[in-house]
Amino acid sequence: MPDASDAASEERRDTRATDPAPEHPPTTRRLGVALPVVALLSLLAIGILLALVIRNGNRAEAWQRRSWQQAVSIRELQRVLGTRSSELNFRIRQVNKLTASVRRSQTALARSESDVSSLASRQRQLADEKAQVEDQRAQLEVESDTLASVAGAFQDCSGGLADLLSAVLDEDYTYASEIVAGVGSDCRNADAELADYQSRYG
């Protein structure tokens, strides 16, 4: 017959067999949910930072390209200004030669008029010549006015080129961009007036 101690031991074993399994504490469950979320947020933050680094790098490269292109444009503008200045100096020398020629013609005309007035005995013979001289004087006056217009046009062109060159040397490219079209128009107008003068008077 079993004794009382054996019965108590058997009862304790039955009690342990029927007890439910221990549950995980709430803190452990919350950590299991939070860790994946933290990892996902970390990956998202790293992705955003990487995107910002790439975008800033692209912006830096774009600004470097823009700076290089602007430097090339400035060098080209300076080259064009140098060429136009040389052409302008050549045109001015031509204008000066034409001006001297007109002055010589005017002096010759003045001498002709003096001879006409002093040769009364040849008045009839020289009547036609005097009329021709008057025509030539009128033509010379028109030619002189035309030449003055050509000189004024080249002065406008020269002044514009000087302003444009000063703006470039001062690195005032905004002002240079504003006046470059007008300067080009003035210089083309001066060339056109000179070409018209030469076609009419040689």
pLDDT of 87-108, one tens digit each? 777 778 877 887 787 788 777 7
pLDDT for 10: 53
Tens of pLDDT along 104-150? 877 776 776 676 566 667 777 777 777 787 888 888 888 888 889 99
b/e for 49-87, b at 16 or more Cβ within 10 A? eeeeeeeeeeeeeeeeeeeeeeeeeeeebeeebeebeee
Tens of pLDDT along 41-68? 888 888 888 888 888 888 878 788 877 8
Provide the CB-side half-sphere exposure for 186 (13 A, CA). 21
**pLDDT-derived band of residue 151, with 50, 70 and 90 as boundaries?**
very high
pLDDT for 166: 92
